Chain A
């Protein structure tokens, strides 16, 4: 394995982490948006706030990680992607601004109108951001981002394949989030919300499955290289992803919720790596390989060293954060009622 491959793997690890943590976070926003204004919707939104409050910020640092590794390790790919896909990336950035500020403001807004507006912005941008990021992925997979020249600023990402992948991103986010929220509901002792998100997890899984199949069909027509990769070297991962999806559904139906989360995460991780394997060795299919696009050797080495340090420093801190959050040691907003009595404060 060359250093370029190692940095590409590091990049992909970041993409995977963002797909899982950022995805679950976007999905939570999706459920907040569609929960409706009634009592039940309000409870669902309370659960979403309570669950993502402490972790949403850290979840999105992965995106910055991905951008930085991309421009440092593979600068020409970064420049090509951001030049051709100027429009969807600008819209994704807009979504990120609205989403973060919407979430930060909605708790503190005093008037109901302000709060509802902030919540809507948060929910809406939780759908738009992953959608536009999905269209970016679709454009790259289809080879519509040429290295060294500029692709069409509109048709590169506004086409059936990109739209399908954008929709798939939204569906997968919603699916992941609902599975996570089931166990969060369980943690707070709210069986009604458990059922609520169980129903939604099943619908989201089915929608994601349909979109995935449609996406593969469209890949066959428009992105032959990636299609061949997915049905070749990437096939085991594709099968694994589908399997994980089915297993998650079965587990959820049977009430064995403990393993549903890792299995849902597995479905997403497998599909992300499936894409990576399918595209290998290209960064931008058919015009730029990892070896051609890689930065000088010293830069790659420095990136790998930084990544090693990050593993030592950031991973334990993240584990601490998620652990404290899961054990209810850090929380601010109220969990939906009928929570198990809190441990006495020492």
Chain B
């Protein structure tokens, strides 16, 4: 296994970063891979926060209100970092890919303009919500907050629709290589939208749910089994456990749609070399030009999954010249299998919780359940990254599928290797600082405990403000 990875690194990653195109691709992949986690939190975390807020107000539940307030502080930090990493991406559209934006900006740009509206609204309502705990009336505050997840959904739709368009471009006319006519509706509602957009939005909820729940699972494993931790575990975990099976179904239909819309991407995901029927499904294994070496082989299953019958014909990589095939075939295949594998395991976790809840209205008693939840967050993030690798590397060598090659989109400016190196260092520091800051917040809250007046809405007279130490009259 290590050998495969080492081989993959030596063969694909090293020469990649050595060329300008490779460095540009690596930088884009790295910054997007970083941003996608924060963006997922930005889309789904506010919803968790509002569920806690609603519960707190409706049932006069102090622990839920405290959770909502603390989560809003976490959202404030992750949203801010997500906003800057998102701004970096919009710079990179020009810094790295002027051949793409310079040519197709008029086509997909409208979607980003729409996204701009949603992002604006999200930023505004996040600010109002975070800063409104003290002085706004409780229900006014809650309803103003409801704007955040709605804007988040709209923003996610617009951004992912751009990626869908890159996979299934339509709605424009090229005359002498220049875009002349644009049909914005066809661009916005391109054929990949119905499966890609829900897949990503569900992923955001799934990742955020498991990630937040995993934090409280760790706390409970360390013996903190108060109501605060129980709620902190249950709210996100319930959301994630509902999202996971739906995600599996959506992902399954997405894979079938890709087999039809982007057969070469699908062939690379499944290591299908020659077009044929009765194609074997391989779980892991190494992809070579004469078939898959190693791995678990299930005869006929791949054909069956594509068309519900082993006689379904599956397109192979041999239908296009080698230059038009995605690179790093084994990595792609592994990424796909890992994503599907993690999702399957998470479904088992969801069933476990559902069973225990149905029997006893409680989470499973064993520590193994908490241990499983504790690792589910990281597992979900890995699945998210794997999915992103599948869709992005799987589209290569095209930036716009079958229309514009990545090598024709890259900038002519020099020095991408330097910026790539700088970005890696900067983002590692940024990620580390983010984790340290969040841990510091959690430690501070724990030291303050429940008695320290962290209760939102109309603080008790004379209680010190936990954030600034200010005395509220």
Contact = CB atoms under 8 A, between A and B. Distances in A.
A345 B128 contact: no
B440 A108 contact: yes
A295 B106 contact: yes
A67 interface: yes
B369 interface: no
Interface residues of B, number: 83
A35 interface: no
Contacts of B422: 94
Nearest to B81: A101
Given A78-B105, A296-B182, A334 B468 contact: yes
B275 interface: no
B87 A93 contact: yes
B124 A76 contact: no
A75 to B, nearest CB: 4
Contacts of B430: 97, 101
B437 interface: yes
Nearest to B457: A345
Contacts of B417: none
B104 to A, nearest CB: 8
| Dominant SS among interface residues on chain B | helix
A104 B81 contact: yes
Given A89-B94, A324-B128, A97 B84 contact: yes
Nearest to A50: B468
Contacts of B131: 53-54, 325, 330-332
Given A321-B127, A324-B128, A329-B135, A104 B88 contact: no
B112 A68 contact: yes
B182 A298 contact: yes
A299 interface: yes
Nearest to A103: B80
A80 B103 CA distance: 12
A150 interface: yes
Contacts of A332: 130-131, 133-134, 467-468
Contacts of A90: 91, 95, 419
Contact of A71 (B87, B105, B181, B184): B105
B453 to A, nearest CB: 14
A57 B123 contact: yes
Nearest to A331: B131
A326 B403 CA distance: 51
- The residue in B107, B135, B419 that gathers the most chain A C-beta atoms within 10 A of its C-beta is B135
A105 to B, nearest CB: 5
A306 B119 CA distance: 13
Contact of B80 (A57, A71, A87): A57
A76 B77 CA distance: 36
Nearest to A344: B473
B152 interface: no
B469 interface: yes
15 contacts: A60-B83, A75-B102, A75-B104, A78-B94, A78-B101, A79-B102, A97-B426, A100-B87, A104-B77, A295-B106, A299-B107, A317-B124, A318-B124, A324-B136, A330-B136
Given A79-B94, A81-B94, A90-B95, 4 more contacts: A61-B123, A82-B411, A110-B440, A320-B124
